[in-house]
Amino acid sequence: MRKEEFILTTPDGYQLATAVYMPEGEQKGYLHILHGMSEYHGRYDDFARYIASNGYVVGLHSHRGHGKNAELNHTPLGYYGPTDGFNKVVEDVHFVMMTLRTRYDLPKPILLGHSMGSIVTRRFIELYSDTIQKVIIMGTLVHSPIHQVAAQLAKRLAKRDGEATEAKLIDRLGGSSNNRKIKNAETPKDWLSTDRAQVAAYLKDPYCNYTSTNQFYADFMEGFEVASRPTEVAKIRKDLPMLLISGSDDPIGGYGKGVWKVARQYYDAGISKLSVHLFDGMRHEILNETNNQLIYQTILKWLEKKIYEQQL
């Protein structure tokens, strides 16, 4: 396996830290991974190596305002940009994947998005489902009225305090209940994983565990609302193989209930190759759980499937 790291510059001049993992021998396909909020693509190195060792090219990039991109573009962490940030992040996905396909002569990708990346993925497939082979939506959540309230609050705070100001109020309100079902929680981030070493690594990582900006929340919540509209969901091609995968103890996904509601949206829209898999006892970051090899193997098995039946 060979790993390459480089910077791609988008049509609007934004620099994106990017990585590609090339397998030895015959290539089975191309998987592209979209990371979540307050993290970056480098956290997926172990999983990417596993998938590449099984014959797949793996591409990743950090989103605007995440990881090294903040330094490269002289912006704060957790800041998409001054205007239209979420839509630009979605367009970045299209740009990066098309660039990698051309550079490495790759087939249509399989797209995997986790958490915030799952929302970006959900919007992407509404616009570009014909450009990918399959999609994996991991650690996702359902849109609710509270997200609309958060969007309006973020807009007001961005106007009052500044768009690049840390959204401490929204961050506190949004994360206040994530540990509520965990007995004897040791950190505010125990809801991420049952693996204490992984939680500790997250807390120590300078590119994680920060407070995103008011403008980030305003942009993200607006994009989340659009991605959740039935009229937009209806634009996805009906034969797109889709896997929704999460932990049963993930508060972001409503402990499974929110994931099933999202699945119902796709089912009602006529998606004919839809599967849902919830893993008992796992929290938000299922790729960083103590038994993450089970997740790795489950995803690999799904990647290699040729026939997709409805599994709900």
pLDDT per residue as tens digits for the range 6-41:
999 999 999 999 999 999 999 999 999 999 999 999
d(CA 77, CA 65): 5
Look at the chain and report how many structural domains it folds into: 1
Inside any domain, residue 177:
no
Percent of the chain at pLDDT > 90 equals: 86
Cα Rg of the chain, angstroms: 18
In this prediction, residue 56 carries a pLDDT of 98
Q: Is 87 helix (H, G, I), strand (E, B) or coil?
A: helix
Q: Within 10 A of 283 (CB to CB), how many other CB atoms are there?
A: 30
Inside any domain, residue 200:
no
Inside any domain, residue 114:
yes
Inside any domain, residue 137:
yes
Percent of the chain at pLDDT > 70 equals: 97
Please give the residue range of the domain that contains residue 11. 2-142+224-303
In this prediction, residue 173 carries a pLDDT of 77
Q: Within 10 A of 109 (CB to CB), how many other CB atoms are there?
A: 26
Q: What is the pLDDT of residues 110-144, one digit of tens each?
A: 999 999 999 999 999 999 999 999 999 999 999 98
279-301 average pLDDT score: 98
Name the DSSP letter for residue 43.
Answer: G
- Does the pLDDT at position 279 exceed 80? yes
Q: Within 10 A of 31 (CB to CB), how many other CB atoms are there?
A: 25
Report the amino acid identity of residue 307.
I
- Name the token pair of 192: 């991420």
Number of H helices, E strands in the chain: 11, 8
- Does the pLDDT at position 258 exceed 80? yes
pTM: 0.96
Q: What is the CATH number of the domain that holds 264?
A: 3.40.50.1820
Q: Which of 107-121, 171-185, 240-254 has the lowest mean pLDDT?
A: 171-185
In this prediction, residue 308 carries a pLDDT of 60
Q: Which helix (H) or strand (E) holds 179?
A: none
- Does the pLDDT at position 64 exceed 60? yes
- Does the pLDDT at position 310 exceed 60? no
Confidence band of 312 (pLDDT split at 50, 70, 90): low
74-95 average pLDDT score: 97
288-297 average pLDDT score: 98
Inside any domain, residue 219:
no
Inside any domain, residue 285:
yes
- Largest alpha-carbon pair distance within the chain? 56
- Does the pLDDT at position 311 exceed 70? no
Confidence band of 89 (pLDDT split at 50, 70, 90): very high
Inside any domain, residue 179:
no
Report the amino acid identity of residue 115.
S
Inside any domain, residue 82:
yes
Mean pLDDT of the chain: 95
88-104 average pLDDT score: 99
Name the DSSP letter for residue 167.
Answer: -
- Does the pLDDT at position 44 exceed 90? yes
Confidence band of 169 (pLDDT split at 50, 70, 90): confident
